[in-house]
Structure 1
Amino acid sequence: MMRHLFIIALLSSLLLGCQQSPRKQYYLLNATPHADQSVAVTQSVGLGPIEVADYLQRSQLIVNSDANSLQVSDNAYWGEPLPKGITRVLAMNLMNHQPTRAVELFPWRSDSTPAISIRIQIHDLQIIDGYAVINASWKLMDNLAKKTVAQHHHINKRPCESTARDIAAAYSTLLAELGNEINQALVSKGK
């Protein structure tokens, strides 16, 4: 009888030990720092739609094993859906560049369509061979004239370790650099 109790206790402890999985870790993209200023908004631009590659539409962080394969993280997760994080960070970066600028997120109401909007496609945002890489296209649209006033294909990379913390920081930096490029186009157009 004692032997059966011992075996049951041993099996129970093994099962309980197997049920505990590693704790999930959550990561966010961050905008560039800004000066604490309270200023009146004098201009508004629209941001969106922003299209993000399908393979990035997951809650877990992804690292490329090589050019043609992906590795999904076991316990590193985005704290928000990645497309929403990209939109949030780009909007904040654009406002931080120009404190008098308000950014309206797509979709906007038909009676309050901004005169200028930015459309973005994120084709790739990945870690490969020790680099974080972004491949994106953007268009600056004159919504009143219904025409493209500027567009660019943006490719950039920076060294990055394959830890989740480093990936989130590298992606944040790449998005800041994309925001810088878009901001320069807005400034050159007087927006």
Structure 2
Amino acid sequence: MKKVIDSFVYLSYWPLAEGFGLNTNILETNIINLSVVFGVLIFFGKGVLSNLLDNRKLKICQTIQNSEDLCNGAADQLEKARARLRDVEKRVNEIRKNGYLQIEEEKENLIKAASANLKQLEDSKNETVCFEQQIVIDQVRQQVSCQALRNALITLTNCLNNELHLYIIDYNIDQLKDMKRIFD
């Protein structure tokens, strides 16, 4: 301790004009001064430094805890998002399957409708052909009938005399009378 006091006394004897010098004596120089300063700092600054370090440690722990909470929250949100993504993918697949099924059903319905329309057109065509055939047949019959009647008239006019003519008229009148009796 005496050396510490001596070093302070020694400093008080330094003349101000001389300035600073280099003292190579290790016992009189900075090691002792630094030891005293560190001792005083440790003794008095121990509580302050301890409080600062404890506060810093607490802030770091809180920051780490907040980061872990945020990480856990983000992980939960990520899992929920993945679950929603899986649900959406399932719905998309169902919609896609339903769409394909609806397309196939529409395709089959269109094929059936086209087939039915084709059958109707075929039936209509056949009816039209039959109708036209019937018209042609009727026209041919009329022409044949007309020709037969002309031929019959020609034959009758050539062969018919008054007596035969009266006989045919009487015969037809008798036929009509018989028919009348049957229906009455």
Q: TM-score range by the shorter chain?
A: under 0.3
Q: Of the two structures, which has the highest relative contact order with CA contacts closer than 8 Å and spacing of 6 or more? A: 1
TM-score between the two structures when normalised by the length of structure 2: 0.24
Q: Which has the higher helix share?
A: 2
- Who wins on radius of gyration, i.e. which is larger? 2
